[in-house]
Amino acid sequence: MNYYPYLLNKIKQVTDEISKKDFDNFINLIIKTPRIYIIGAGRSGLVSKAFGMRLVHLKKKVFIVGETITPSMRRGDTLVAVSGSGKTTWVVETAKASKCLGGKVAAITWDTKSELANLADIVVQIPSEAVPRKISGYTTRELMGIPLPPLGSLFEISTLIFFEACVLELMSRLGIEEEEMKKIHANL
């Protein structure tokens, strides 16, 4: 099977279903927030950190939860919490703490009924698990012609694309050109 067209089609299906309203609400929150905290576990964490890096290039104050140099959260700050299932313990517990500290929570998840989504001020659904896995086992699904990327890959890839679209929108709304962003890019 040629997986490139298959994967690209699946990613397009997912990203086409991301709500424009959710996108706009997320962008508006990012613009208004004085300081942004980012959290995600595993590969969702890597995608989150990539977004955090771009926000720094866009002159936002950004911190990665769990890093030793991350300062305390203040009232009015925002936590961007990324968890496909919305059940990742570390992410959910951090969202609870953020709410107690007077922060806002923006949840990026596929499950709008999850604990993380219920805690959030804004939820962006990345509907990557819309295809039910009625047949368990990746190899079995592949043999039957219905492969899905394993272990949340569709969520993570689609979330990265969502975040890149956010970066482009933020560049436009904030009036920041790529050349200006390059001046802030890491040089060590």
Number of structural domains the chain divides into: 1
The residue segments making up the domain with residue 55 are 24-183
In angstroms, the CA 41 to CA 92 distance is: 11
Query: Is residue 88 situated within a structural domain?
Result: yes
E strands along 103-164, which residues? 104-109, 122-125
Which residues participate in catalysis according to the annotation?
156
Q: Where does the pLDDT of residue 133 fall: very low under 50, low under 70, confident under 90, or very high at 90 and above?
A: very low
Output the domain CATH number for residue 134. 3.40.50.10490
Q: Given this model, what pLDDT does residue 52 score?
A: 97
Helix axes 153-174, 3-16, angle to 10 degrees: 50
Q: Given this model, what pLDDT does residue 153 score?
A: 85
Residues 155 and 44 sit within 8 Å (Cβ to Cβ): yes
Answer yes or no: is pLDDT of 138 > 50. Answer: no
Query: Is residue 64 situated within a structural domain?
Result: yes
Q: Which residues on neighbouring strands pair with residue 123, listed in sequence order? A: 107
Query: Is residue 188 situated within a structural domain?
Result: no
Query: Is residue 84 situated within a structural domain?
Result: yes
Query: Is residue 116 situated within a structural domain?
Result: yes
Q: Given this model, what pLDDT does residue 101 score?
A: 97
